[in-house]
Amino acid sequence: MTLIQHNLQQLHQRIRAAAAQYGRDPEDITLLAVSKTKPASAIEEAIAAGQLAFGENYVQEGVEKIATLAAHQQVQWHFIGQLQSNKSQLVAEHFAWCHTVDRLKIAQRLNDQRPASLPPLNVLIQVNISDENSKSGIMLEALPELAQQITALPQLRLRGLMAIPAPESDYQRQLAVCQQMADAFQWLKQHYPDVDTLSLGMSDDMEAAIAAGSTMVRIGTAIFGARDYARNPQQ
């Protein structure tokens, strides 16, 4: 077994343990392997261990890996980075999911650019739940209007919400923020039957996210090891 495969096994154990502790079904929690800056060979090791959902942050880098790994048709690619409108076409054409929709203009472009030959692009609305320094994500007050606008776009399928809470080491405070996201998710689910995904929880707040009701945790370093940005000048 390779290190990546060992790490994946450990993470599945951690997810199962958190699910058991908080009364969740572990089958309801998807592990999204965040592979930004990592080579296609590392992703192939993960695929060999049964990992099928991968998250990429940089459009060009992601599209190159999707092409390299095209033979693995069962793999699902999620775009989880900040999306500039001049890059939306590549996301619409190559990814199955986009987690970072936070304005109508981007949603409209993704809808118009999604090829008719592909199923609708699965999208999550990114919410700025606690990070005053981040410009990404909508305020919760803006959720009803953006959700309504997105569900009117035929080439998009609104699946839920995503957030990147500000770093916080105290579990109770992590939980309080995750709970606000979970409440918004429940509200959205009641209004839109396709909604089933709450993308919340990274290495340091995964347990709190699972306790609150996350259905998708996004983990990079704990699977693939530390990132070496020096080798990737575009970042």
Q: Which residues bind ligand PLP (CB under 6 A)?
A: 34, 36, 57, 80, 164, 202-203, 218-222
What is the Cβ-side half-sphere exposure of residue 128, based on CA atoms within 13 angstroms? 14
- Closer CB to ligand PLP, residue 153 or residue 216? 216
3-state secondary structure of 228: coil
Whole-number minimum distance, CB 68 to ligand PLP, in Å? 20
- Closer CB to ligand PLP, residue 101 or residue 153? 101
- Closer CB to ligand PLP, residue 144 or residue 167? 167
Whole-number minimum distance, CB 221 to ligand PLP, in Å? 4
- Which residue's CB atom is positioned nearest to ligand PLP? 220
Q: b/e for 99-117, b at 16 or more Cβ within 10 A?
A: bbbbbeebbbbbbeebeee
Whole-number minimum distance, CB 175 to ligand PLP, in Å? 19
Q: For residues 116 and 71, is the Cβ–Cβ distance under 8 A?
A: no
Whole-number minimum distance, CB 37 to ligand PLP, in Å? 9
Dist CA 210 CA 218 (whole Å): 12
- Closer CB to ligand PLP, residue 87 or residue 218? 218
Q: Which two tokens stand for residue 67?
A: 């092409």
- Closer CB to ligand PLP, residue 143 or residue 222? 222
Torsion of CA 131, 135, 140, 145, to 10 degrees: -170
Whole-number minimum distance, CB 56 to ligand PLP, in Å? 9
Dist CA 101 CA 162 (whole Å): 9
Torsion of CA 162, 33, 28, 9, to 10 degrees: -150
- Closer CB to ligand PLP, residue 63 or residue 153? 63
Whole-number minimum distance, CB 154 to ligand PLP, in Å? 27
Residue (of 67, 1, 73, 3) closest to 226 by Cα position: 3
